[in-house]
Structure 1
Amino acid sequence: MWQYLCFLLAFIHTCFALYGGDDSVIQLTGENVDEFISQPGVTVVKFYASWCSHCERFAPKFKKASDILQGVVRFGVVDNEAHSNIGNRFNVEGYPTVLVFRSDEGAGNPIKYTGPRTSDELIVFLMGQVRDFVVARARKEGVQLNLSPKQPTMGSGGGTCGGAQSHADKQDNHYQNSEAVVTLTDQNFDSLVLQSDDDWLVAFIAPWCGHCKNLAPEWKRAAEKLKGKVKVGTVDATVHNNLAGRYEIRGFPTIKYFKSGQVEEYNGMRSAEGIVEFGLQKAELNRPPPEVNEITSSEVLHEACDNKQLCIIGFLPQLLDCQSKCRRDYLDVMKEAAKKHKGKNWGWLWSAARTHMPLEEALLVGGFGYPTMVAINMRKQKFAVMHGSFATDGVRDFLYDLSQGRGSVSLNSMSALPEIQSSAPWDGKDAPVIHEEEIDLSELGMKSEL
């Protein structure tokens, strides 16, 4: 592996601008992050939180990787507690999160590192990104490079099989005895994968490849765990040459993720756990956000709250105080929050003020006016009332503090949710304006003028 790394380091020395400074890891803020991730070459950024024990354990390994790759890959870190606006831009929801930025891909398209949190695996993964960057840059200059690694660039420690073998060397396909793994061919690939709305993980394999045989049991276990969420398939690249050529398959196994015609190479662990984690992350990222439903019955309330980690309820002003456009603006704030947290097992509801008074009384709603928001944890029988602004920033801060267990959010105890009366759903229209009838004061024997 180190021979390969040394070769790449020597090759790219003329392609990358060295960055100065005594420290190999740069602390990033809102003032310097854009310039940092937009520089030519490969940049890696770690998002962390001070309370995160995983971040603390990963820190020396991240630093070791930065020392080894200094002058080759730029390393930066973001304290996401102090600079949450940066993490929000890149949908950072857990810690530590490691994103890789390549100037040929653009700063808006980072690659998430999902491999082991070790310096060795991170280095191998980053060198794979360096290799791909160099190949892409050379291609723009009209130079075709073949830098296929002898060691893996997936951060998997599993190796790759390169080159071609004769058909006589082929052995039985170890992937075909699993119902969860779909056999893909030149004939069915476009209709099943590219023209589908499903998420797909596809392994391009060669039956004679020892590393492919090692992957097979992990691939099948991952397919079983991902069933119903992500589809899993294999392509025998030695038979279906058109597909292998289309996706520039040069080594085996090569794993790619497909969604709505978009393709991304998988660079994580070749283990069932790593593959499943990657697949679920992609499925959550691509699935539609949950609906924000109006509370019209006890059934709607219980469906959103009973089996969820949290249910979020917005209590909005009555239409006479806030007509349809005003109400839709508040609902848009809730929908934006639901989209942001779509990967979480949360339910989302709303109700017009004073429509379900037993529920409002149980949740201590109304004393601070409307709109307001309540988060309920039915398993722990706790709830919290938002006292900040019912705007994008206010709702974001409330939910973030709540999910992080911040002391700024007060928790209240509760028992079971009260039963509520069914109500008609909002028709989407304004409330009718009530015109007061003018009274002829002369009929009452009173003067109309003072």
Structure 2
Amino acid sequence: MIRKGHSTFLGIPPLLAVLGVLFFVASADVVDLSGNDIDRWSHSGSAFVKFYASWCSHCKQLEPAWNHLGETAPPGVTIARVDCQQEKSACARFGVKGYPSLKLIKEGQVYSFYGRRDPDKLREFILSKYETIKPEPFPAVPPSSATDAPANGGASKEKSAQGEGSNKKETDKETGTGGGQPIKSRVAELGDGNFTSVISTGVWFIKFYAPWCGHCKAMEAAWEDFALLHPTDGKGRRVMIGQVDVTANDEIATAFDIRGLPTLKLLMDGNMYDHVGTRATEEWARFVDGGYLQTRSEKIPLVHEHKGPDHTILLDDSNFEHLTQAATGATTGDWFVLFFAPWCGHCKKLAPVWRSVAASLKGRINVAKVDATTSTETAERFGIKAFPSLIFLRHGKMYSYEGPRSASALEAFAEGGYEGLEPSPVPPVPSLVSKTFSAARVFVSETQTRLLEFCHGSPSGAIALCVIGFIGGISIALILQTRTQQQRKRIDEKMQREKKKS
């Protein structure tokens, strides 16, 4: 009996090894690339790469479809992504000028995707449609000096070519002409806190930029020079020159739907006009002096300004139940809670409204927020599946809000509007067992991701995974065999005792 069981157990390791490999391969996910990881496809293999920026709303909207593509990718195609805020040199090599940029790398050729970004279209492209696109050769790694120059100095090629005269001009600009006093920049730095009030009057020509953007750095000196020219529009009005760092001002970047850098917009009389010409002072002067009339106008989007203290209470897994006492409905009062994700565009639009609600209800109702991407335990407890999600907690009951997201509507709901809804009981605090299972799920997910990154595009990695699976299977088989033998021995001993008694 034991021998038969032993042979059965010895058949388990290969099966576990195969199932383990299949499990990890079937769980294929999106691979984050860094440094020169992308060079593994410079001569062979296939990878579909998304070049993105964390502040880009279109990149965030693409995230679910891209993750789905990672799970259903055809065999032999790696689905990957590159964060251009972290990997500036890689994005510069591939000529990325807008976000998101999608590029299929296949057999040393690069095919750029243009079209509707839904899973079916993306999958169709990597299967066959890419053949209709003229490919570009895989870009070579630039010399280290060329790669480092923009990061260190931000100097453009044109500026370097000007030589000594250009350096003198920069020196004069910084120290003044003969007086030894620095000339104050005439470019206004705008942000979430002052944007709306500043641009509400006059005519503004705004540059949207990022500190890491090479093209932005290259035009920096010209932008300063243009501000010193005191340009005027076609009606003789002074044009003010400003700039916005989109990496530090998410609200403005989202409201203006900034996709490429640098982006230049002329704002006047409630309308805005996109500049799409060459980046030179003469071209900008023509544009603001009437050239903008040849382009399509759009209404200037509303950007809420953050003024005064933020009365919103930040909750997380560690303090949620202690502060809200949601399960017992005890002594801390009513709570209106926003569950959000940092990448969620609708959450960003709601943020200033939520601050206003918190200020208005201060002292009467606790207004709070939870980052569901980091406080996963609390998000799972309340069944959060979409962002933003709003829940009102009162006396151990909860009410889900699904109405308009205006300050007046939210305040009316918290001050009594919830009474017209059927409440649900507040979910209990997670037990130690459920917390353990949740931590185990996170551990398994992170382990899968690490193993995938280790194995993708690496035959030796796949072989290593098989070996690990085989060894793991052997170990489990031996453990099961030992336990079975011990159990059989106890049963035999028990039968012997009962036989003696009889």
TM-score with structure 1 setting the length? 0.30
Question: Greater CA radius of gyration, 1 or 2?
Answer: 2
The structure in which a higher percent of residues are helix is 2
Q: Which has the higher contact order (CA 8 A, sep 6+)?
A: 2
